[in-house]
Structure formats: C-alpha cells, structure tokens
Amino acid sequence: MSVTEGRLPVAIVGGLHADARRAAVEEILRTVPGSVALHHDLSAATDRAVRRTVRDASGSLGEGEAPLVNDCACCALREDMVPELLRLATGGGHRLAVVELWESVELQAMAAVIAAEGAPLELTGVATAVDPALMVPYLANGDDLADVGFAAAPTDQRTVGDTFARQLEYPTVIAVAEDETCEESADDGDLALLTQLTPGARQVRVGDGALVAALLAGFDVEAAAARQHPACALLPQESEEHGVSTLVWRRDRPFHPDRLYEALEDLSCAAARSRGRFWLADRPDTLLSWDAAGGALCVESAGPWLAALPDAAWDMVPAERRVAASMDWHPEHGDRCQHMTFTSPGLDREGLVALLDSCLLTDVEYAAGPDGWKKLSHAFDELLDPVS
C-alpha cells in the first residue's frame, strides 16, 4: 500500500448492522499496519456529549467527548470528526484512517464533509457493512429510529427501513460479513436481494482479503451524489433470481392524481424496496421522486423536468442529468416519464403492473391534453405543498 506524501487516506465504513461493521473495521486494522479507526458513539448523547474513541489493531489509543451542538448528536459528530482526522494526519505515522460511523449516521453526509476538507485528508472509499441474513427484516422495519434508539437528532424522523436502504445504495463497496454464531444464516434469496439493490457497488466478503484494496480505489463524491439524485439515480435492473424479483416499470403517460393517490398504500407495501421518478398530469413540469421501504413512502418534488427548462439553463445541468434525460426522451413529453423499480422476495409482478397501469390517464383523459389535465383534482397538494 502506497500513501501520497503529506496525505492521510480516509475510508468510511458505516451501516446499521453493528456486528458486520465492526468485523469489517477490525479486518482493516489487522491488514494495514499503522491504520487507525475513529468512532463517535452517539448512544451516549443523552449525557449531553458524544463519546469519541480512536483505536488500532492493538486496542484503544485514546478517548474523548464532543459536546452536543444544538442538542444534536450528529451535529457534534460533524464538528468533531474533521479536527480529529486532521490531528491524526499531522501527528504522522498513520497510513490509513477508518471512520467507523455509528449505526444510523448517513454515509453521504459524512463523505461530503471529509471530501470538502481536502488535503491533507483524502477520501479513498465508502463502504456499508451488511449481514445478508438481516436484509429482509431491516428493509421491512417501519419503526422510527427514535423508537429503537438510533435517532441522530431530536428532529430525526427517519425509519429503520429507509435508513438501511440509503446505506445500501450510496457506497461503492458493500462489505458482506455474516454472523457465524447466529442461528439464522443468509440464503440465496438474501444474497440475491442484496445484489439487486446494489447495482453500482462492489461486493467483498469480510475475511477474503479484498476489502482494503476496494476501499483504497478512490471515491468520487459528486458522482456518488448523482447516483442518488432522482433525476439520474442508478436504479436496479430487471431481474429474477432465487425468488427475488426486480420489476422496472416505464411508461410515457402521466399519472391521474386521484387514482395514484388512492393506490399509494398498496404500492408502498408492494415491495421491500421501491424507488424512481414519476410525473402527475396536474403537475406536468415537476419531477417527483418515489422512495419507499418498510411500508413507509416519501414522495417529494425534485425540481423541474429538463423539458420544462429554457434551453439556456441546460448548460448549468450536470452531465449525468442530461444523459439520463436523453435515455428517456419522448418526442412530445421530453424527459417526462414514469421510471420506477420494485425489488422484493415474492413480488407480485403482474398485479403490480396492473395496479400501476390503472393509475395512468385513460385514452380519453390523455386526449384532453395539458390544458385539460390541469383541471383534474390536485390530490397531491397536501402532500407536496403542506401548509406551514
């Protein structure tokens, strides 16, 4: 392992599966002499502080506390993490720093913080550690993080399912670490579900010796953010393996707002994970994102479709967005489209397609054109434009 002079390589390892995460970090510390792990324990935030530990393969190198910032444990982590990494970098003698994130901390947010600091810190990799035997129960868990002790801030309203889904979809490395002491071991279906949900990541098994190389391969924060943006997200591909299916549903016509709204509950519970972008007839210029896990659904505006922008604005749009738009381009609607994916064991593909298709405009409704569509009921107004 070669290290650029004056720089400290930094790798992030996160994930709700604590045992898998610790196994991954311990392997890195054993494999790379001079490596250290930085961890902030947010479970102690009730004592008005976040506990910080630094360790290497031999054990603890130091402990400390970071006071809460605005009653927010995650904010305290943000404030303390970079100064501590800079201290490790300037202290010399360390070949790699591993940031082991606490259970529910967002990898994307912390990666952006480290990358923004720049030299002497060099973000080289981001991984989520996963025990595949826990894939289904975690994705299906609709409990609020606060109810299970994993909330990172008083205002944290995330659920276990949607937090776990984002942890799977952001990194370029998935560290697979099965708990050999557990009675329930992963089967082919669990591994198929993991593979289908992480099309942009490299899977490495903890203990096989490939994890360090994968985490030193480099990490592009902007490209990773683009893979998450609803307009150009890297979504799962059509697949069917070991009882696990991914349905990719694409259509050109807009949704009827009333019929889609009435189907939201059934659609959000139809799969372990569903994502995508869609458009409503009464909001033809608005790109809407679909994000569901654990029975919880988030529908949000992601800005305008490119076809709704003046030509002069296209130069300010990231290349990834323009490429994604070109793949969905329609001679009449532009990049407006329905592009949604549903991944789950035991997926009712035919029933799901029928339900989705039934929510589209009929031939008669479609023939009314945009002026007629705007006269339809605005069923999503309360959801998308809540009164503050």
Secondary structure of 46-101 in HEC code, one letter for each residue: HHCEEEEEEEECCEEEEEEEEECECCEHHHHHHHHHHHHHHHHHHHCCCCEEEEEC
Rounded to whole angstroms, the Cα distance separating 286 from 140 reads 30
Residue with tokens 């749009």: 317
Rounded to whole angstroms, the Cα distance separating 41 from 53 reads 8
Give start-end residues of each CATH 3.30.1220.10 domain in the chain: 239-384
What is the distance, to the nearest Å, from the Cα of residue 51 to the centroid of all Cα atoms in its chain? 26
Rounded to whole angstroms, the Cα distance separating 353 from 386 reads 30
Whether the pTM exceeds 0.75: the reply is: yes
CATH of region 8-228, choose from 2.60.120, 1.10.260, 3.40.50, 1.25.40: 3.40.50
Amino acid letter at 48? R
- Token pair belonging to 120: 């002497």
N-to-C CA span, the chain: 54
Identify the CATH number of the domain defined by range 239-384.
3.30.1220.10
- Token pair belonging to 361: 């405009």
Sheet with strand 49-56: strands edge to edge: 59-67, 49-56, 35-41, 96-100, 8-14, 121-130, 173-176, 202-205
- Where is 248: in which H helix or E strand? strand 244-251
Per-residue pLDDT of the chain (388 residues; tens, 9 = 90+): 444 557 999 999 999 999 999 999 999 999 999 999 999 999 876 667 889 999 999 999 999 998 888 878 888 888 999 999 999 999 878 999 999 999 999 999 999 999 999 999 999 999 999 999 999 999 999 999 999 999 888 888 899 999 999 999 999 999 999 876 555 678 999 999 999 999 989 999 999 999 999 999 999 999 999 888 898 888 999 999 999 999 999 999 999 999 999 999 999 999 999 999 999 999 999 999 999 998 899 999 999 999 999 888 888 888 888 888 888 889 999 999 999 999 999 999 999 999 999 999 999 999 999 999 999 999 999 888 875 5
Give start-end residues of each CATH 3.40.50 domain in the chain: 8-228
- Residues in Cβ contact with 162 at an 8 Å cutoff, skipping those fewer than 6 apart: 291, 292, 293, 294, 296, 298
